[in-house]
Amino acid sequence: MTAASWRLQSGHGVRLEWGPEGARRLGPEVAGLVVVDVLSFTTAVSVAVEGGTRVHPYAWRDASAREYADRVGAPLAVGRREVTAEQPWSLSPAALRRAPHTGRLVLPSPNGSAIAAAAGEGSTVIAGCLRNAAAVGTWLARQGYGTPERPVAVVPAGERWPDGSLRPALEDLLGAGAVAAALCARAPWAAPSPEAGAAAVLWTATPDPAAAVAACASGRELAEGGFPEDVAVATEIDASAAVPLLSDGAFGIADRN
């Protein structure tokens, strides 16, 4: 086995690697990829698709994002602090619940959206979070994912330090572990890598994951910044049965069969 094979966790049916670079590396090697960005991209996606919105991920909120939104005929989500009556859609899951319905939405995120883009065209891409981890694991098992022949990568997004480098984040590790644990519980054939297996163990061994997310660095940052509702929505453990599947450039609800 080559060093590259070790880095790709070859031979395992459930793999885990961090951030956009992890998605870029593992995406071509797996049949499915689960993006996990609990605070807040994939939580926002889960809320939006429940309401019938198709979510177009986009890495940056810039002029090109505006052009893309115009091209697909969708409003462009604004920053949390920029929400107005005229611009009610943002990365805030709580704000999305209050916003009027829109059939499509362009949702920029340098973490979660960037991972979805980095996965490449060969993988089935799913948005996972604490709200839908059990549903995602069940759907993956029903589709036969988790074997070395049909591997799936779970990719926690993490956050960014001021210099742009990756900051592994507890909330995303717990979310990734919840998805991996749900898949392995429903698929006796699943063959997790040590990385994915350790994340699953962390999830099952955490007595109060909602409290852990609220008290971790990212949760405190959001709450102290004035968005405690977003943390509350993100920690609605397994409240959603929606499995957001990326298709034709947008996340919509996957067929549950």
One-letter amino acid at 33 equals L
Residue 257 lies in a domain: no
Residue 30 confidence class, pLDDT cut points 50, 70, 90: very high
- Kind of pairing between the strands at 14-16 and 124-128: unpaired
Of the candidates 10, 50, 1, the residue with the CA atom closest to the CA atom of residue 28: 10
Q: In this predicted structure, what is the pLDDT of residue 60? A: 84
pLDDT of residue 136: 98
Q: Structural domain of residue 54, as residue ranges?
A: 3-58+112-241
Compute the distance between CA of residue 149 and CA of residue 18 in angstroms, rounded to an integer.
Answer: 22
pLDDT in tens, 49-90: 999 999 999 988 889 999 999 999 999 999 999 999 999 999
At residue 169, the pLDDT reads: 98
In a domain, 221, yes or no: yes
CATH at 192: 3.90.1560.10
Gap between the Cα atoms of 76 and 83, Å rounded: 11
Residue 69 included in any domain: no
**Inside any domain, residue 49:** yes
> To the nearest whole number, what is the mean pLDDT of the chain?
94
Indicate if the pLDDT at residue 16 is higher than 50.
yes
> Which of the residue ranges 58-62, 131-135, 216-220 would you say has the lowest mean pLDDT?
58-62
pLDDT tens digit sequence for 230-255 = 999 999 999 999 999 999 999 999 98
Does the pLDDT value for residue 138 go beyond 80?
Answer: yes
Quote the CA–CA distance of 136 and 243 in Å, as a whole number: 6
> Which residue type does 1 have?
M
Q: What is the C-alpha separation between 97 and 92, in angstroms, rounded?
A: 9
In a domain, 22, yes or no: yes
Q: Per-residue pLDDT for 257 more than 80?
A: no
Between CA 234 and CA 93, with CA 203 as vertex, the angle to 5 degrees is 10
The answer to whether residue 54 sits within a structural domain is yes
- The CA dihedral of 221, 166, 1, 34, to the nearest 10 degrees, is 50
Instruction: Tell whether 76 is covered by a domain.
Output: no
Q: Does 135 map to a domain? A: yes
The whole-number pLDDT of residue 1 equals 45
State what percent of residues in the chain have pLDDT above 90: 89
**What pLDDT sits at residue 3?**
44
**pLDDT surpassing 60 at residue 204:** yes
Written as one letter, the residue type at 235 is T
Total domain count, the chain: 1
